[in-house]
């Protein structure tokens, strides 16, 4: 969901009321599910949703979109500290990297879960909004250097939503994994998405299936990673389509169901998966 669209929706709220804005968001979410369904990848039979679960999926994505677009993106600077110190020495500090035309606010729920778990958590806003994904590498490098200095030189885990996972891969291609402990991606279009045909900017074009940029990235990587990499993705992603485009060769791929794209970093279930990947013991377990 574009920041520019957030501005439009806020104007609609001011001019026509919250109901009109919610209706517009609902139409956009419904359209994304229809497009994604038309290009859906095969899924295991046990992951299929019944009517009630499908309704919960749509409502969950709608509520996530409303929260992100009307509250979290506009108020990100007031709701989230860029750097939060941790109280654990058994878990690497985390840098959260957001997706296409978002800011760190889209990761607020995950940020809060990490903070509450005692993990050092840091954020970064990718700019320019419609820029080349390779252009984000130096900002990530500078941020990682600062985070390491703040955390005693510890290597940093990158937890990335959507396009943020491609930015992390571009970073590893250019700088290697000396600063990176591991990478966890959430709903990243590793092989592109058909919805990118409607996206603006250089980065939007780079995320189209079969783009020259994606092909070069995969060729340069050769399926080898300088650090552990996990891709968490949803069979019901309404932005990454086909959904198995979020799978990545050479990574550990973890599928979930019943969660939409915007809702992935807003989900308590996904937050628990991320914490487990980082090595945070489950609540109530010894040392947790």
Q: Where are the domains of the chain?
A: 76-278
Per residue in 99-119, pLDDT (tens digit) is 998 999 999 999 999 999 999
Secondary structure class of 184 (helix, strand, coil): strand
Rounded Cα distance between 5 and 29, Å, is 13
Burial class (CB in 10 A: 0-12, 13-18, 19+), 29: buried
Asked if residue 287 has pLDDT above 50, the reply is: no
Q: What is the largest CA-CA distance in the chain?
A: 54
Q: Are 234 and 262 in contact (CB under 8 A)?
A: no
Secondary structure class of 65 (helix, strand, coil): helix
Nearest 10 degrees: Cα torsion 79, 114, 108, 179:
100
Q: Are 185 and 164 in contact (CB under 8 A)?
A: yes
Average pLDDT over residues 54-63: 96
For the chain, give the mean pLDDT: 92
Question: What does the block give as tokens for 147?
Answer: 């985070």
Rounded Cα distance between 155 and 144, Å, is 8
CATH ID of 76-278, from 3.20.20.70, 3.20.130.10, 3.40.50.300, 3.40.50.1820: 3.40.50.1820
């Amino acid at each position: 969901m574009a920041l520019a669209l957030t501005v439009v929706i806020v104007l609609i709220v001011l001019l026509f009321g919250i109901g009109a804005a919610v209706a517009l968001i609902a139409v956009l979410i419904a359209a994304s599910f229809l497009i994604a369904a038309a290009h859906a990848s095969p899924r295991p039979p046990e992951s299929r949703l019944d009517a009630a679960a499908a309704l919960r999926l749509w409502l969950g994505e709608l509520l996530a979109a409303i929260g992100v677009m009307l509250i979290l993106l506009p108020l990100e600077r007031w709701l989230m500290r860029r750097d939060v110190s941790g109280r654990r020495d058994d878990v690497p500090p985390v840098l959260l990297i957001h997706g296409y035309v978002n800011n760190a606010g889209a990761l607020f729920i995950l940020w809060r879960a990490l903070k509450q778990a005692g993990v050092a958590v840091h954020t970064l806003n990718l700019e320019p909004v419609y820029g080349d994904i390779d252009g984000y590498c130096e900002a990530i490098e500078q941020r990682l250097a600062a985070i390491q200095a703040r955390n005693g030189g510890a290597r940093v885990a990158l937890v990335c939503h959507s396009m943020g996972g491609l930015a992390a891969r571009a970073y590893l291609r250019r700088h290697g994994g000396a600063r990176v402990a591991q990478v966890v991606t959430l709903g990243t279009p590793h092989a592109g998405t058909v919805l990118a045909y409607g996206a603006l900017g250089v980065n939007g074009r780079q995320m189209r299936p079969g783009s020259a940029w994606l092909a070069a990235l995969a060729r340069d990587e050769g399926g080898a990673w300088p650090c552990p990499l996990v891709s968490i993705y949803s069979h019901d992603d309404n932005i990454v389509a086909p959904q198995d485009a979020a799978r990545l060769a050479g990574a550990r791929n973890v599928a979930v169901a019943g969660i939409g794209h915007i809702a992935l970093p807003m989900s308590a279930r996904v937050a628990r998966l991320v914490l487990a990947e980082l090595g945070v013991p489950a609540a109530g377990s010894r040392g947790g």
